[in-house]
Structure formats: structure tokens, C-alpha cells
């Protein structure tokens, strides 16, 4: 993406955002991979989890955002700035993980067979994408800014990922989960989407228009996700996972 990511804003919900990553990791049964690659590593906090999980592996990462790569490098992650659409697996890539990235990559279904065919036999590919695009957190911004195209991110259905991966992998494991996040503070859903789904709107609109957009969106999100009497807010969030073994 050419838009600017804010690593600290993205990390504001790090526990909730990390949960799917751990659930994905739990389904990768690699024991002693030579190299583990984190595609779209973001600020690198989850790449660190990969290093701890496979201490004997070379763990490398890439991300298209200069800000995210800088944040990851600060943690000591071997990260480079690159676009996943131009990436080719190195011959020792025994594990490739891409968490909450491919929703930003149009036609990413076409990339999966290319990557898996280039990976060594017995390697693991694991991906997770948010799939909340039919929920108010994503339909309301679309209603208010219909001209901003990147909001309608195109993730496929679990069956579509399974079909594509089954054509090139020996074993495929696909599932979906709806997490019920318990958020705290004022306008928590607005804050959640601000660091991710709203980035294209913020980039597209002049500052004053973006402020108007946010104010109206805040009002509608409060109605869609009402605060409970204890001050917390339930935020259901659907995600799709796919793990394949070559
Ligand atoms: C929602 S963050 C996820 C970061 C990390 N994987 C995690 O789970 O916390 C999405 C990341 O994907 C990166 N990204 C988006 N499109 C990309 C592309 N075409 N190539 C590489 N990275 C990309 C963004 O820069 C951002 O850091």
C-alpha cells in the first residue's frame, strides 16, 4: 500500500489483534523449519513471536510500509521494504505466514498457487484475513464514503481459499472464526477501524471532510455497537484462516 501506516495506532489493540495470529500459529506443525517468512509483518511484534516459536530458524520479514519496516527493525526484526505481489519464496522457506495482510492485495488468490509451487515440499503456508466487510464496522464507512474504493476489500470465502490451495497443496486446513472483542473506552470501534480500514478514507479526503466523516461515523458506530453499562463494548469480528502443507 502506498498509504501511511501508524505503528503505534495499530498496536493500540495489540492483544485483540494478536489473538488470531496465535490461533493461526497453533495449526502450523513445522518443528525445525530452516527459514520462516512473515509477509506484511507490520510493526514486527508478531514476527518476534515467530522467532520465539522457532528459535533455530532464520526469520525474515517484509512489509510495503516504510514506517512499519522501521518499527519492526527497531525490535531487531530482519525486515525489508517490499511488496508481497513481487515476492518469490526463497528455496529454504519452510514456513510462510501472512497475517491480516492479503485483504489489502487485490487478486491475491492468484498469488497463492505461485507461492506454494515455489515452496519446498513439506513446507507450511498460513494466512489469516479479516472478513468483517458485511458488518457495520465496515458497511457504515462505505455508506459515508462510497467513492473510496479500497474500503470494499475483496477477501474470498473459506471455500474459495480451500479450493485454490487444494490444487497445489498436499493438505489444506481452512476455517473461520468470529471473535467477540470486549473493547473499552470511548468510541472503541471507531478507534479500531481508524488504524486499518479507514486509512484509505483518511488518505482520500481533505482534512476537514475527514473530520466531518469521522464525526458522523462515530455517531452511527455508537448506535451499531452500543456501550454497555460497565463501559465496555462488544465488537464481533469475523476472520478467515487457511493453512496449507505443500
Ligand atoms: C493490518 S497490518 C498486519 C501486520 C501484521 N502482519 C500483524 O498481524 O500485526 C497489515 C500490514 O500489511 C502491509 N501491507 C499491505 N499491503 C502490502 C503489500 N502489498 N505488500 C507488503 N505489505 C503489505 C501493511 O503495510 C501493514 O503493515
Q: What is the mean pLDDT of each run of 10 residues along the chain (246 residues)?
A: 60 82 98 98 96 98 97 97 98 97 93 98 97 93 84 82 98 98 95 88 92 97 96 96 98
pTM: 0.91
Give residue 199's pLDDT: 87
Whether ligand 1 lies within 6 angstroms of the CB of 196 is answered as yes
In which region does residue 225 sit, left (phi positive, over 0), alpha (psi from -120 to 50) or beta (all else)?
A: beta
Between the CA of 228 and the centroid of ligand 1 the distance, in Å, is 32
Residue of 16, 37, 40 best suited for mutating to test ligand 1, as the one with most atoms within 8 Å of CB: 40
Give residue 123's pLDDT: 98
Contacts of 134 (CB under 8 A, 6+ apart): none
Query: Quick one: which H or E segment has residue 213?
Result: helix 207-224
Whether ligand 1 lies within 6 angstroms of the CB of 63 is answered as yes
Give residue 5's pLDDT: 65
Cell match 482520500: residue? Answer: 204
- Is 67 in a helix, a strand, or coil? helix
Rounded to an integer, what distance in angstroms lies between the CA atom of residue 101 and that of residue 108?
10
Cell match 521494504: residue? Answer: 81
CATH superfamily of the 7-135+150-181+239-245 domain: Vaccinia Virus protein VP39 (3.40.50.150)
Nearest CA to ligand 1 atom 25: 65
For residues 54 and 30, the answer to whether their CB atoms sit within 8 Å is yes
Between the CA of 53 and the centroid of ligand 1 the distance, in Å, is 21
For residues 96 and 126, the answer to whether their CB atoms sit within 8 Å is yes
**Angle value at C-alpha 20, between 15 and 51, nearest 5 degrees:** 80
Between the CA of 45 and the centroid of ligand 1 the distance, in Å, is 12
Whether ligand 1 lies within 6 angstroms of the CB of 237 is answered as no
Residue of 12, 42, 72 best suited for mutating to test ligand 1, as the one with most atoms within 8 Å of CB: 42
| Atom number, ligand 1, closest to the C-alpha of residue 38 | 6
Between the CA of 223 and the centroid of ligand 1 the distance, in Å, is 30
Q: Which three cell numbers stand for residue 108?
A: 491475491
Give residue 1's pLDDT: 45
Give residue 169's pLDDT: 98
End-to-end CA distance of the chain: 29
* Other C-beta atoms lying within 10 Å of the C-beta of residue 74: 12
Whether ligand 1 lies within 6 angstroms of the CB of 165 is answered as no
Amino acid at each position: 500500500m502506498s498509504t501511511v501506516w501508524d505503528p503505534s495506532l495499530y498496536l493500540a489493540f495489540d492483544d485483540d489483534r494478536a489473538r488470531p495470529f496465535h490461533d493461526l500459529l497453533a495449526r502450523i506443525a513445522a518443528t525445525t523449519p530452516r527459514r520462516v517468512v512473515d509477509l506484511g509483518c507490520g510493526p514486527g511484534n508478531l514476527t518476534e513471536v515467530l522467532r520465539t516459536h522457532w528459535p533455530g530458524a532464520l526469520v525474515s520479514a517484509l512489509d510495503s510500509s516504510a514506517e512499519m519496516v522501521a518499527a519492526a527493525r527497531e525490535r531487531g526484526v530482519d525486515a525489508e521494504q517490499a511488496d508481497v505481489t513481487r515476492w518469490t519464496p526463497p528455496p529454504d522457506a519452510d514456513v510462510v505466514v501472512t497475517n491480516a495482510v492479503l485483504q489489502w492485495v487485490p487478486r491475491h488468490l492468484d498469488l497463492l498457487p505461485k507461492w506454494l509451487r515455489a515452496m519446498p515440499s513439506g513446507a507450511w503456508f498460513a494466512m489469516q484475513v479479516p472478513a468483517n466487510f458485511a458488518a457495520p464496522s465496515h458497511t457504515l464507512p462505505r455508506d459515508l464514503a462510497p467513492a473510496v474504493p479500497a474500503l470494499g476489500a475483496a477477501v474470498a470465502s473459506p471455500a474459495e481459499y480451500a479450493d485454490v490451495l487444494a490444487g497445489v497443496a498436499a493438505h489444506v486446513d481452512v476455517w473461520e472464526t468470529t471473535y467477540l472483542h470486549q473493547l473499552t473506552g470511548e468510541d472503541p470501534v471507531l478507534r479500531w477501524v481508524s488504524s486499518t480500514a479507514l486509512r484509505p478514507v483518511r488518505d482520500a479526503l481533505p482534512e476537514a471532510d475527514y473530520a466531518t466523516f469521522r464525526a458522523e461515523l462515530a455517531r452511527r458506530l455508537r448506535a451499531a455497537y452500543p456501550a454497555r453499562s460497565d463501559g465496555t463494548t462488544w465488537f464481533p469480528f469475523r476472520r478467515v484462516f487457511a493453512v496449507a502443507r505443500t
